[in-house]
Amino acid sequence: MRIHLTVWRQAGPNVGGAFHAYTAENVSPDMSFLEMLDVVNEQLIKKGEEPIAFDSDCREGICGTCGFMISGIPHGSQPHTTVCQLHMRKFNDGDSFTLEPWRAKAFPVLKDLVVDRSAFDRIIQAGGYTSVNTGGAKDANNILIGKDIADAAMDSAECIGCGACVAACKNASAALFTSAKITHLSLLPQGQVERTTRVLNMVERMDTEGFGSCSNEGECEAVCPKGISLKNIATMNKEFWKAVLQS
Amino acid sequence: MRALRMLGSSVGTKIILAFTGLALFGFLIVHLYGNLLAFLGPASYNEHAHELISNPLIIPAELGLVALFLTHIVKAIGNFGKNRSARPQAYGVKKWAGGPSRKSLASTTMIFSGLAVLLFVVIHLKLFKYGPVYTDAVTGNRDLFRLLLDDFHKPGYVVGYVLAMLIIGLHLRHGISSATQSLGIVPESWTMQVLRGGMALAMLMAILFAIIPIAVYFGVIR
């Protein structure tokens, strides 16, 4: 396969960038999108040019490290798929793509397609945890949780923190990411101790980082590789006003 | 203190917008009831208007309404500015995601449809509430029905009013369901029903409001 790429190249943070055109030759349909970029990078290195920087780690769709815009949609147009699990067999010989980093004030571009997502880490640090006594490992079923609650909590906990929700949102809002963690922990007994302060702290952090607010459009849900539902945001908002009334 | 500060947060702002928006929607329903009385003739229409004007609670009610409007507008404009600054550099290529996303013309133009509605409200108050005062010869009350007929025999007024109602319908199409989502008051299993219901309700409101000037123009209301 031959693939035409228009890629955002930026040498580092706080410098300007521009789109550059590349052509990937001899792309196997069995390659993932990232493996196709690996091939392009090998060609660039052979020519003595700087390879295209992009993030990746597990390449199994579970770690949340990879991700960039493929022709205007985070992770590309295949639903519930990270870039690393997007395969070239889904495309045709001669297809063209525009690759761009996530764009948000809170996600500054570090280089090419790589952005700094540590704002997400700081939101989690603000309240996305539970306090437990240390000691010997507890029995797995020490605290009984109904299957429906465990399933609902797992649906929210599935978030891999890739940042596609922020990238897709017209307001660059982190509401889906933040609400998934708040919902996950509010459903479980372990999350009850910090339940009130958690939502306030995490929302406050989300704002400090410079993310926008939620317009309830659901672009985030549509591009989320894990299909995290917009319902999480409704739950976060409910948790929020309950916490405001209690505090 | 913290509770108050948190009301200014992104989530707090959306909750305030949702609450004031739904309250204004409630006002629209009451307003629509009064409008539709025009189909019953001048007596019912003017009597309802007189009952409202002569009620001693009208002043506090109007002040409350102004407060709701102002809060909604000020918060919405501030929110729009913050959201714009959250993405300083625009995408070279950006597409709508489709699928479960409910992004629409309505959802992407809320600030503009809202400002258009504000402009309409100002014109509407100037021409109607603070417009020419006719007096009913029999009851001695204000004859708003005559003003209604006067205004909506002018084609320009009919077109302008119907256009304004379409914009209000557009604003409500996203607004009603979005507000319930922002408040988190709808059980999860009802999300889709509320979304569709909100859209249907928005369309119904726009049609019922817009039907009155058309009925006047074509002589159904006279």
Spell out the domains of chain A, with CATH numbers in brackets.
3-100 (3.10.20.30), 118-246 (1.10.1060.10)
pLDDT at B53 over 90: yes
- Least Cα distance to A229 among A171, A158, A124, A146 occurs for A158
Nearest to B166 by CA among B106, B76, B103: B106
Q: Is the confidence at residue B65, as pLDDT, over 90?
A: yes
Tell me how crowded residue B128 is: count the other CB atoms within 10 A of its CB.
13
Determine the average pLDDT of the residues in A171-176: 98
The DSSP string of B15-83 is HHHHHHHHHHHHHHHHHHHHHHGGGG-HHHHHHHHHHHHH-TTHHHHHHHHHHHHHHHHHHHHHHHHHH
- At residue A141, the pLDDT reads 84
Helices (H) and strands (E) in chain A, counts: 8, 7
CB neighbours of residue B92 within 10 Å = 16
- The sign of the CA dihedral A185, A188, A191, A195 is positive
- CA dist B18 and B175 (Å) reads 8
Question: Which of B11, B93, B194 best tests the A interface by mutation, with the highest count of A CBs <10 A?
Answer: B11
Quick one: pLDDT at residue B189? 82
Q: Is the pLDDT of residue B160 over 80?
A: yes
Q: Which two tokens stand for residue A200?
A: 């306030």
Q: Is residue B97 part of a domain?
A: no
Cα A231 from Cα A233, distance rounded (Å):
5
- Give A180-206 pLDDT, tens digit per residue: 999 999 999 999 999 999 999 999 999
CATH of the domain at B16: 1.20.1300.10
pLDDT exceeds cutoff 90 at A114 = yes
Percentage of chain B modeled with pLDDT above 70: 100
Average pLDDT over residues B46-73: 96
Test B98 with A222 for CB contact under 8 angstroms: yes
The model's pLDDT over B100-134, given as tens digits with 9 standing for 90+, comes to 899 999 999 999 999 999 999 999 999 999 999 99
B80 to chain A, minimum CA–CA distance in Å? 9
Interface contact A212-B86, CB threshold 8 A: yes
Of A21-30, A138-147, A235-244, B119-128, which range is least confident? A138-147
Average pLDDT estimate for A133-158 = 91
Residue type at B40 in one-letter notation: L
> Using one digit for the tens of pLDDT, what is the confidence trace for B39-50?
999 999 999 999
Task: Flag whether pLDDT at A132 surpasses 90.
Answer: no
Q: Do A8 and B108 touch (CB under 8 A)?
A: no
The pLDDT of residue A133 is 83
pLDDT tier at A109, thresholds 50, 70, 90 = very high
Domains in chain B: how many in total?
1
Burial class (CB in 10 A: 0-12, 13-18, 19+), B95: middle
Q: What is the DSSP letter of B179?
A: H
Q: Report CB contact under 8 Å: A210, B85.
A: yes
Q: What are phi and psi of B103, to 5 degrees?
A: -60, 135
Average pLDDT for residues A109-128, to the nearest whole number? 98
DSSP letters, B153-164, are TSHHHHHHHHHH
Question: For the segment A73-91, what is each residue's pLDDT rounded down to a tens digit?
Answer: 999 999 999 999 999 999 9
Among A69, A77, A233, select the one facing B91 at the smallest CB separation: A69
Does residue B198 carry a pLDDT above 90? Answer: yes
Q: Using the structure block, give the residue that is written with the tokens 């020519």.
A: A47
pLDDT band of residue A48 (cuts 50, 70, 90) is very high
Residue B38 domain boundaries: 2-83+103-217
User: What pLDDT, on the 0 to 100 scale, is given for residue A4?
Assistant: 98
Q: How many CA atoms lie within 13 A of B163 on its CB side?
A: 10
Q: How far apart are CA B136 and CA B75, in angstroms?
A: 42
Residue B201 pLDDT level (bands cut at 50, 70, 90): very high
pLDDT of residue A139: 86
User: Minimal Cα–Cα distance from B100 to chain A, Å?
Assistant: 5
Report the gap between the CA of A200 and the closest CA in chain B (Å).
7
The residue ranking higher by pLDDT, B98 or B150, is B150
Compute the distance between CA of residue B181 and CA of residue A135 in angstroms, rounded to an integer: 42
Q: What pLDDT is attached to residue B188?
A: 78
Name residues whose C-beta falls within 8 Å of residue B163's C-beta, 6 or more positions apart in sequence.
Answer: none
